[in-house]
């Protein structure tokens, strides 16, 4: 495609790392008018557990499909001990916003700092991972939340097609991503050239280095290999943000083995901004998970959420769960490591990080603010 019309931005713009201080996290609640309908009774308790765990550390913003769902979510969260409601000072603030699905990582705002008084929420175009699923209502969620006063600063709409799960930031100008997603011809009306993608990342996120992976894929993944299912940047034991936590596969008989091994070799060849190798931490490989018709599900431990004082890690009732929690603890010292059973989330081909979007410190409008 021709180079996209990318709005300019100040040179001071920066995409914070996920481990930097946060105001809260966005959730978009599942509902009966979505693909969750057949397993809604099973998956809703998972959302409650995630919400309660987040609320221990920070605030929540919850997008509810309609008024009836908003009332239900308020009752569920209050019963679980979370101060929830529509008031601006509620710890879990609920908004009535129509949605197609629940993948807040990809339809939620990507918030950047640019020298302003508050982070700027960017609303990128979302088309259901390259037009695979209906997404018109999801594409409008960030703008709708902004209009309803969720954020301290009005969201800015961009027509560049990009999902939050496609990028990882170290907060210091380095982005990590995959070619198969960002450069895919199903995005941006026929695809975007690598040079144009890097120019967009520089303008919108202040990125001066982009690390591109050519390998890494999970069966059952609809995203064309989002980086947050494969590799995560982490502060590491020294707090420098030069650690990579990646989903390994040590089962030579598994169809993922060759590609994930090639991805590991790519990671070994990467260098930090100062020219040193990254510290690599391999996550254990969970046993194959399948749905009720035998389709393999993209179970991955890499899809964890970092909070102010904790990390929520997806688990799958698998023998490798405990070892995965230990690896994440090594990558994120000083934070409590909490496992959440995400088997029902994986039935819709995602996991914990996919249904959440962190909002950096200063992003949310407080009670009484105008």
CA distances for 189 relative to 197, 231, 332, angstroms: 14, 27, 38
Given pLDDT bands bounded at 50, 70 and 90, which one contains residue 366? confident
With b for 16 or more beta-carbon neighbours within 10 A and e for fewer, the 193-231 pattern comes to eeebbbbbbbbbbbbebbbbbebbbbebbebbbbbbbbb
pLDDT in tens, 169-202: 999 999 999 999 999 999 999 999 999 999 999 9
User: Domain for residue 226, yes or no?
Assistant: yes
- Asked if residue 7 has pLDDT above 50, the reply is no
User: Domain for residue 8, yes or no?
Assistant: no
Q: Which residue, 161, 316, 299, 131, is CA-closest to 229?
A: 299
Hey, what's the torsion of the CAs at 93, 98, 100, 106, to 10 degrees? -50
Query: Are 8 and 160 in contact, with CB atoms under 8 Å apart?
Result: no
User: Domain for residue 366, yes or no?
Assistant: no
Task: Give the mean pLDDT of the chain.
Answer: 95
Given pLDDT bands bounded at 50, 70 and 90, which one contains residue 6? very low
User: Domain for residue 368, yes or no?
Assistant: no
**For position 231, what pLDDT does the model report?**
98
Given pLDDT bands bounded at 50, 70 and 90, which one contains residue 153? very high
Token pair 């709005």 in the structure block, residue? 7
Question: What is the crossing angle of helices 67-79 and 40-55, to 10°?
Answer: 60
Q: Which CATH number covers residue 265?
A: 3.75.10.10
Indicate whether this model's pTM tops 0.85. Answer: yes
Contacts of 209 (CB under 8 A, 6+ apart): 173, 174, 175, 273
- Asked if residue 10 has pLDDT above 50, the reply is no
pLDDT in tens, 26-42: 999 999 999 999 999 99
Summarize the confidence of residues 288-295 as an average pLDDT: 93
Q: What is the CA radius of gyration of the chain?
A: 19
CA distances for 121 relative to 13, 253, 362, angstroms: 12, 44, 11
User: Domain for residue 2, yes or no?
Assistant: no
**For position 32, what pLDDT does the model report?**
97
Give CA 353 to chain center in angstroms.
5
User: Domain for residue 159, yes or no?
Assistant: yes
pLDDT in tens, 232-278: 999 999 999 999 999 999 999 999 999 999 999 999 999 999 999 99
pLDDT in tens, 307-331: 999 999 999 999 999 999 999 999 9
Percent of the chain with pLDDT over 70: 96
User: Domain for residue 14, yes or no?
Assistant: no
Given pLDDT bands bounded at 50, 70 and 90, which one contains residue 230? very high
pLDDT in tens, 108-138: 999 999 998 999 999 999 999 999 999 999 9
User: Domain for residue 201, yes or no?
Assistant: yes
> What does the alpha-carbon distance between residue 369 and residue 121 come to, in Å, rounded to a whole number?
17
**For position 300, what pLDDT does the model report?**
98
Given pLDDT bands bounded at 50, 70 and 90, which one contains residue 12? confident
Overall number of domains in the chain: 1
> What does the alpha-carbon distance between residue 43 and residue 269 come to, in Å, rounded to a whole number?
39
Determine the structural domain holding residue 289 and report its residue range.
22-360
């Amino acid at each position: 495609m021709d180079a996209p019309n990318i709005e300019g931005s100040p040179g001071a713009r920066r995409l914070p790392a996920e481990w930097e201080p946060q105001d809260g996290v966005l959730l978009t609640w599942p509902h009966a008018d979505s693909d969750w309908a057949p397993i809604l009774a099973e998956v809703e308790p998972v959302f409650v557990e995630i919400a309660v765990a987040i609320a221990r550390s920070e605030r929540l913003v919850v997008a509810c499909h309609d008024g009836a769902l908003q009332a239900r979510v308020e009752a569920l969260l209050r019963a679980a001990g979370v101060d929830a409601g529509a008031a601006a000072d509620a710890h879990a603030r609920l908004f009535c916003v129509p949605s197609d699905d629940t993948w807040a990582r990809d339809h939620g705002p990507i918030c950047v700092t640019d020298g302003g008084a508050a982070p700027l929420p960017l609303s990128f175009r979302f088309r259901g991972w390259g037009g695979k699923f209906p997404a018109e209502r999801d594409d409008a969620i960030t703008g709708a939340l902004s209009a309803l006063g969720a954020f301290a600063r009005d969201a800015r709409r961009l027509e560049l097609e990009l999902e939050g799960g496609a990028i990882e930031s170290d907060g210091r100008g380095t982005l990590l991503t995959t070619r198969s997603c960002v450069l895919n011809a199903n995005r941006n009306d026929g695809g975007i050239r690598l040079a144009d993608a890097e120019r967009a990342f520089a303008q919108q996120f202040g990125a001066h280095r982009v690390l591109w992976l050519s390998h890494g894929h999970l069966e059952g993944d609809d995203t064309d290999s989002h980086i947050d299912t494969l590799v995560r940047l982490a502060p590491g034991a020294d707090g420098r943000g030069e650690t990579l936590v990646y989903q390994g596969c040590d089962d030579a008989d598994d169809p993922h083995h060759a590609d994930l091994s090639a991805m590991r070799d790519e990671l070994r060849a990467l260098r930090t901004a100062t020219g040193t190798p990254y510290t690599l931490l391999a996550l254990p490989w969970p046993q194959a998970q399948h749905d009720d018709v035998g389709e393999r599900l993209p179970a991955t431990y890499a899809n964890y959420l970092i909070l102010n004082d904790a990390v929520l890690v997806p688990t799958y009732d698998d023998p490798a769960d405990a070892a995965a929690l230990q690896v994440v603890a090594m990558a994120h010292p000083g934070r409590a490591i909490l496992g959440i059973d995400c088997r029902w989330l994986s039935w819709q081909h995602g996991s914990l990080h996919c249904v959440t979007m962190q909002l950096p410190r200063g992003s949310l409008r407080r009670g009484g603010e105008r």
